[in-house]
């Protein structure tokens, strides 16, 4: 006999549980030809309306001769349900294309509308692309015009000042006499690094495997130092700002980076082999290798300008 402990069938099942509270229901024999088992909690097939036990309740279980009928009935019921927007007139959604020169009526059965999320307007198929309706020069609908214009002006000013900064940097670096990297063989570089390691000074607490050995110079044109150059080692985990502080202290160069607001008074680190100014937050192990040469310069400005600062008036 089928068990009386069972869960409710899922919503999309082809069978339903018969009401066990019916006082006339004292058990029904399964109508599957090869079963005929008495079941006190039978199931009704929603396709053929037959009654079956737990084992043969599905359409495949009793080889239903009307398989799929329940699903077809559900589809017909869903199609007969009014859809959202039913009853609305076409005139409620019809409107002209947002392009000023276009007179096409969109939102009709013949001409669909395409929404541009950038300018928040609706266009016909001909003007749906941004370049076709001059999207970049339109203020988005709903946006604050003054704020939009201010942001555009700030971006334009920042770009102009960035170009001016680049021109000034080229002119400034062209007037400086900086050391150039020497072309040497790999074997000669190994010998030079080994010699450098014997004379370089630094913090004894830095593990040997983390030391990067460098030649350090102070540019005579912009910095006054007691010692014009020296050989030092720094940890590969240090950032260039810390290297600059240590190098300035070793060469006895006046370092006012922490107090000065004017870039003309600040020191910067120039990497000879790389041919560029190094950022204060760059790691030694990433930017430099043993045997490289760095130069302390004053008044050359940041390695890269602050683009956020360029937008401020």
pLDDT digits 0-9 by tens, 251-281: 988 888 888 777 778 888 988 888 888 999 9
Q: Report the distance separating Cα 13 and Cα 16, nearest Å.
A: 7
Q: List, for residues 210-223, the tens digit of each pLDDT value.
A: 999 999 988 776 56
Range in 43-47, 73-77, 175-179 with the lowest mean pLDDT: 175-179
Share of the chain above pLDDT 90, in %: 25
Question: Token pair of 243, please?
Answer: 């290297």
Please tell me the predicted confidence (pLDDT) of residue 139: 85
Segment 138-150, tens digit of pLDDT: 888 876 555 555 5
Residue that has been written with the tokens 């266009």 in this structure: 123
121/232 same-domain check: no
Write out pLDDT tens, residues 147-192.
Answer: 555 555 655 665 565 565 556 555 555 555 555 666 567 788 888 8
Is 162 domain-assigned?
Answer: no
What's the sign of the alpha-carbon dihedral 92, 94, 99, 103?
A: negative
Residue 155 pLDDT: 57
Q: Is the pLDDT of residue 111 over 80?
A: yes
Per-residue pLDDT averaged across 9-32, rounded?
66
Query: What are the residues facing 278 on neighbouring strands?
Result: 269
- Residue 28 is predicted with a pLDDT of 86
Residue 164 lies in a domain: no
User: Is the residue at 72 inside a domain?
Assistant: yes
Based on the domain organization, do 261 and 189 belong to the same domain? yes
β-pairing, 114-116 with 121-123?
A: antiparallel
The region, left, alpha or beta by phi > 0 then psi within -120 to 50, assigned to residue 68 is left
Least confident of 55-59, 97-101, 144-148: 144-148
Same domain, 207 and 108: no
Its domain, for residue 304, covers 174-308
In this structure, what token pair is assigned to residue 258?
């922490």
Checking if the pLDDT of 91 tops 80, the result is no
Do residues 263 and 284 share a domain?
A: yes
The pair of structure tokens assigned to 73 is 């009935």
Q: Are residues 191 and 240 in the same domain?
A: yes
Look at residue 8 and tell me whether its pLDDT is greater than 90. no
Q: Are 4 and 43 in contact (CB under 8 A)?
A: no
Question: What span, in angstroms and rounded, lies between the C-alpha atoms of 43 and 61?
Answer: 12
Q: Name the residue among 72, 79, 81 with its Cα closest to residue 46.
A: 72
Q: How many CB atoms lie within 10 A of CB 191?
A: 12
Q: How far is CA 148 from CA 51, 73, 204, 313, in A?
A: 71, 56, 57, 16
In this structure, the dihedral spanned by the alpha carbons of residues 144, 147, 153 and 157, taken in order and rounded to 10 degrees, is -160
Pairing of strands 51-52, 43-45: antiparallel
Give me Rg for the CA atoms of the chain: 41
Q: How confident is the model at residue 205 (pLDDT cuts 50, 70, 90)?
A: very high
What's the rounded mean pLDDT across residues 31-42? 87
- What is the DSSP-derived secondary structure letter of residue 109? S
Question: How many domains are contained in the chain?
Answer: 3
pLDDT band at 96 (very low <50, low <70, confident <90, very high): very high
Contact between residue 300 and residue 269 where contact means Cβ atoms under 8 Å apart: no
Cβ neighbours around 185 below 10 Å, total: 8
Please report whether residue 130 resides in a domain: yes
Residue with tokens 């770009």: 159
Residues 298, 215: one domain? yes
Same domain? For 49 and 98 the reply is no
Determine, yes or no, domain membership for 157.
no
Distance CA 37, CA 1 (A): 7
Given pLDDT bands bounded at 50, 70 and 90, which one contains residue 288? very high
Of 133-142, 241-250, 301-310, where does mean pLDDT reach its minimum? 301-310
């Amino acid at each position: 006999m089928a068990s009386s402990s069972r869960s409710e069938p899922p919503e999309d099942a082809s069978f339903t549980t018969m009401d066990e509270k019916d006082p006339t229901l004292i058990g029904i024999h399964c109508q599957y030809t090869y079963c005929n088992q008495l079941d006190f909690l039978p199931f009704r097939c929603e396709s053929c309306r037959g009654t079956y036990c737990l084992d043969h309740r599905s359409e495949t279980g009793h080889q239903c001769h009307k398989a799929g009928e329940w699903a077809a009935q559900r589809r017909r019921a869903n199609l007969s349900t009014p859809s959202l927007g039913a009853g609305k007139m076409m005139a409620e959604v019809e409107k002209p294309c947002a392009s000023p020169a276009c007179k096409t009526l969109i939102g009709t059965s013949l001409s669909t509308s395409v929404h541009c999320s950038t300018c928040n307007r609706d266009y016909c198929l001909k003007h749906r692309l941004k370049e076709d309706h001059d999207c970049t020069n339109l203020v988005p609908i709903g946006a604050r015009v003054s704020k939009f214009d201010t942001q555009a002006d700030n971006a334009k000013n920042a770009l102009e000042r960035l170009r001016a900064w680049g021109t000034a940097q080229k002119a400034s670096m062209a007037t400086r006499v900086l050391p150039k990297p020497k072309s040497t063989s790999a074997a000669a570089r190994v010998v030079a690094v080994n010699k450098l390691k014997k004379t370089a000074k630094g913090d004894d607490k830095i593990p040997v495997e983390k030391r990067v050995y460098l030649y350090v110079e102070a540019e005579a044109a912009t910095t006054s130092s007691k010692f014009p150059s020296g050989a030092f080692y720094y940890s590969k985990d240090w950032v260039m700002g810390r290297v600059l502080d240590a190098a300035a202290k070793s060469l006895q160069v006046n370092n006012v980076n922490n107090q000065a607001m004017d870039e003309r008074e600040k020191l910067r680190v120039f990497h000879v082999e790389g041919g560029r100014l190094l950022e204060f937050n760059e790691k030694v192990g990433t930017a430099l290798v043993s045997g490289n040469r760095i130069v302390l310069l004053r008044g050359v400005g940041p390695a890269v300008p602050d683009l956020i600062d360029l937008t401020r008036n």
